[in-house]
Amino acid sequence: MATTHTTRMLIIGSGPAGLSAAIYGARAGMKPIVVQGLQPGGQLTITTDVENYPGFRDVIQGPWLMQEMQAQAEHVGTRILWDTITSVDISGWPFRAIGDSGDIYEGETLVIATGAQAKWLGVPGEAEFGGKGVSACATCDGFFYRGKKVVVIGGGNTAVEEALYLTNHSQDVTLIHRRDSLRAERILQDRLFAHPNITVMWNKAVDHFVGDLGGAGLTAVALVDTVTCERSQVVTDGAFVAIGHAPAVELFKGKLPLDDAGYLKVEPGTPKTQVPGVFACGDVMDHVYRQAVTAAGTGCMAALDAERFLAEREFAVASHAEPVV
């Protein structure tokens, strides 16, 4: 039988943004509910070594970090529920969401922390070598390839930015693109072509990834020429798939505005969406930084703004003024 869950702060998503919002919300007495979604813990649960999250001098594991965040959120009073939201109604107050289980979730405030997923090529070896030479985040994993040979796959802004960033760690960066021209902005292309440590391979598509799963990990990328169909391999220590990210905004299309990149639009410098009381944080609204620490920061901001929203609304009701919503 379906159950209705009510809370002062409903959070959809359980990555660093959602759980940080939960921690701050719980400490403010809002008794938040987190609906975990399809990937509890977010992208960090499929990340192995994490070396850039503040507070840890040694390398930590992504799944462990998310377990600790969840435990902290629960410790301070968050309810974490295993369900996937299938529809939302933000046209009235309280906000309402329905889960795949049939349960109903009602929140006086709503925090959207559904994240974004890297787009993958879908070729053999890509999943198998994930964390063993294949990555979708140079900022996250580039440090592990200091002084090594790396390749970046893609032709848009993401790929060019990743290639340029990797030159901080590697003197041998190859950009692999399936066409004979890039889609990236001209200023980025100019920087790329001018860099002495970057080589571009044109008209090459990735056929599969090559390596030793039980030993060295990724050792090469197998390619097919998109013009001549000639096959070749490029030897590499690491491959970064950089063909973009897809924000998880399906629930909110037509209900909240999106920016030009397809991410939820927020008031600049805040997590506030167009609907008062509805906040967006983490990768679902950030196509620039996409880091665990920045996601956690915006989750904190969402909780603080949610607390202020409720306080202002309660004051308006108590003083018989026009309510915020």
β-bridge pairing 49-50 and 60-61:
antiparallel
* CA 88, chain centre distance (Å): 21
Give the angle subtended at the CA of 301 by the CAs of 75 and 290, to the nearest 5°: 95
The candidate with the shortest Cα–Cα distance to 306, out of 6, 21, 72, is: 21
Those residues whose C-beta lies under 8 Å from the C-beta of residue 167, and which sit 6 or more positions away, are: 173, 195, 197, 198
| Separation of alpha carbons 306 and 243, rounded Å | 34
Burial of 162 (0-12, 13-18, 19+ CB in 10 A): buried
Those residues whose C-beta lies under 8 Å from the C-beta of residue 221, and which sit 6 or more positions away, are: 151, 153, 176, 206, 209, 210, 233, 234, 236, 239
Positive or negative, the CA dihedral 63, 68, 73, 75 is: positive
Positive or negative, the CA dihedral 94, 316, 271, 22 is: negative
Structure token digits, residue 134: 């294949």
Q: How many residues in the chain?
A: 325
Q: How many CA atoms lie within 13 A of 150 on its CB side?
A: 35
| Separation of alpha carbons 17 and 201, rounded Å | 37
Active centre residues (catalytic): 137, 140-141
Give the angle subtended at the CA of 35 by the CAs of 32 and 37, to the nearest 5°: 155
- CA distances 169 to 101, 143, 147, 150, 292, Å, are 47, 6, 6, 10, 21
